[in-house]
Chain A
Amino acid sequence: MKPINEAKMTFLSRSTNEGFARTAAACFAAQLDPTLDEINDIKTAVSEAVTNCIVHAYPDRLGVVSMRLRLFEDNTLEIVIKDSGVGIPDVDRARKPLYTTGGADRSGMGFTIMESFMDTLKVRSVQEKGTTVTMRRRVSRRLGG
């Protein structure tokens, strides 16, 4: 399936960019005429993925995070968030609810929320190379739009 629209951006792993990334994704998704609930779900999932890059991928340095947004004919939004950080040693374990290496400040719910707020979540990670998170969400078509 070929995308009908696409946007790409890169930004530094500064925590102020969590807000930037989710707002940019929400703006791109707006062309699908999503409901407020759908927009909030998408923003939350993006925020989780970008926060992971900032907290875990680049724990002691600034690095580059890239986000690619694509829109398909069937109203599916695909979001790919990629870093070139330390990687995740055990992806299955990292995806488990409440698992975190982030200490008391983190809830360990990031991947669980991405998984439950989006339709699909794929995580590919290579240690010392980086992590790519791919999420898809089909936005409902509204009648009379």
Chain B
Amino acid sequence: MPVSCMETGQTLTAKIAGEVDHHAAKDLMAQLGREIDAALPQSLELDLGGVSFMDSSGIAVVLRSYKRMKELGGGMTLRQVPPHAAKVLRAAGVDKLIPFLN
């Protein structure tokens, strides 16, 4: 599961591509955790534009990053959320915690 990251000032942009399921989630959480801890950004932009499939494992991936950013006193946004992933994330109320932006 590829995660590609880019830092712009205090913002870390992390792009996830591929299928986000239980099989992929563990690696994904670990990779995102490492990137956040290395960059210690003020804000995290998690770009889901390349996600071709997501089930409820994706909810835990997103919430894990959100918790880590809160611990760091920072914020988080979700970018380019595909409709199918948005449906899964909304089912858990993730949109009430984290803004979905284009």
Once the chains are docked, how many angstroms separate the CA of A22 from the CA of B53? 10
Decide if B57 is an interface residue (CB 8 Å cutoff): yes
Decide if B26 is an interface residue (CB 8 Å cutoff): yes
Residues of A within 8 A of B79 (CB): none
Interface string of B16-60 (1 = CB under 8 A from A): 000101110110010000000000000000000000011111011
Residues of B within 8 A of A41 (CB): 87
Main SS at interface, chain B: helix
Interface size class of A (residues with CB under 8 A): 20 to 34
11 A-B contacts (beta carbon < 8 Å): A19-B21, A51-B56, A105-B25, A106-B56, A107-B59, A109-B88, A109-B91, A110-B56, A112-B91, A112-B92, A113-B55
A109 touches B92 (CB 8 A): yes
Known: A15-B22, A19-B19, A105-B60. A44 touches B84 (CB 8 A): yes
Known: A51-B55, A55-B22. A107 touches B84 (CB 8 A): no
Known: A37-B83, A40-B84, A116-B91. A18 touches B22 (CB 8 A): yes
**Nearest B-chain residue to A15, judged by Cβ:** B23
Interface size class of B (residues with CB under 8 A): 20 to 34
Known: A48-B55, A109-B56. A18 touches B83 (CB 8 A): no
Decide if A4 is an interface residue (CB 8 Å cutoff): no
Decide if A67 is an interface residue (CB 8 Å cutoff): no
Decide if A31 is an interface residue (CB 8 Å cutoff): no
Main SS at interface, chain A: helix
Residues of A within 8 A of B81 (CB): none
Residues of B within 8 A of A54 (CB): 22
Known: A44-B84, A107-B63, A112-B91. A18 touches B23 (CB 8 A): yes
B91 touches A106 (CB 8 A): no
Residues of B within 8 A of A51 (CB): 21-22, 55-57
**Nearest A-chain residue to B83, judged by Cβ:** A37
